[in-house]
Amino acid sequence: MSLIHPTAVIEDGAILGKDVSVGPFAYIGSQVSIGDNTTVASHAVIEGKTTIGKNNRIFSHSAVGTIPQDLKFNGEDVELIIGDNNTIREFTLLNPGTKGGGSVTKIGNGNLLMGYVHLGHDVILGDGCILANGATLAGHVELGNHVVIGGLTPIHQFVHIGDFAMIGGASALAQDIPPYCLAEGNRANLRGLNLTGLRRSMEREDINALKVAYRELFEQGNPLQEVAQKLFDTTESEKVKKLCEFIKTSKRGIPFNRTKNEDK
């Protein structure tokens, strides 16, 4: 029994792995490669130089690999790479890279992209992330692993978000969010650690070290970069080192409520 519906359009040159299912009226372009056991639902569009791994589920009316929403784009050779075991829900829009941003948009493994999610050009998405309905990532945004983005949240171009961070729903994020942290609001500020996510994934000792580091970094009113460097040099916790390294290398800055001490 064929897994390709007779009304689906699959251009010559497209590569489909074993047991790939393509639903009614779906379109797959000539430069597309789809891995084993992936399902493409009805009316989905997959085009451009797009490589999709194994065991992905692409729901109806998704637009995957369509040209970037960048006025500078002039038909350059760009691509979209998607890993394994991702769920891409209805009406998602995933654009490839641009020449000015490395030419590649890359999505890792095991991510859930809910309805109406948009990943702009040159976005880098790690593994195990959850983007709720209507989350919108502008060009060049980079997410680490196990990041959660609440629904209806736009993220400004070039923002970086670290591992295990969480952004509350209906926020508007314009600056970098360090790993392990929770942020929300318009404009979004840090509100503490993402303790729910951390308790699911790491030891109590690591969480306690991060709690101490967070207080020193963001609640004592001392210069952020100086504190980050001091903690990096003295801590034995690899998690704290990762937090401090992110802060030291941030290009857009960290959004948090600074005390009067630090403003002097």
Which of 23, 53, 122, 127 does the annotation list as catalytic? 122
| 0.85 exceeded by pTM | yes
Which of 118, 121, 146, 160 does the annotation list as catalytic? 121
pLDDT value of position 259 = 72
Specify whether 43 is catalytic: no
Encode the chain (264 residues) as per-residue pLDDT tens digits.
469 999 999 999 999 999 999 999 999 999 999 999 999 999 999 999 999 999 999 999 999 999 999 999 999 999 999 999 999 999 999 999 999 999 999 999 999 999 999 999 999 999 999 999 999 999 999 999 999 999 999 999 999 999 999 999 999 999 999 999 999 999 999 999 999 999 999 999 999 999 999 999 999 999 999 999 999 999 999 999 999 999 999 999 999 998 755 443
SS3 214: helix
pLDDT value of position 258 = 85
Specify whether 122 is catalytic: yes
**Helix, strand, coil percent values for the chain (each to nearest 5):** 20, 25, 55
pLDDT value of position 55 = 98
Specify whether 139 is catalytic: yes
pLDDT value of position 2 = 65
pLDDT value of position 153 = 98
In terms of C-beta distances under 8 Å and separation of at least 24 residues, what long-range contacts does 121-129 make, across chains too?
Answer: 121/68, 121/69, 121/70, 121/73, 121/78, 121/95, 121/96, 121/97, 122/97, 122/98, 123/95, 126/163, 127/83
Range 198-258 classified under CATH 3.10.129.10: no
Q: Fold match between 9-140 and 198-258?
A: no
Domain residue extents for the chain: 9-140, 198-258
Question: Domain 9-140 is classified in which CATH homologous superfamily?
Answer: Hexapeptide repeat proteins (2.160.10.10)
Which of 48, 97, 134, 139 does the annotation list as catalytic? 139
Task: Tell me the helices (H) and strands (E) count for the chain, helix number first.
Answer: 5, 26
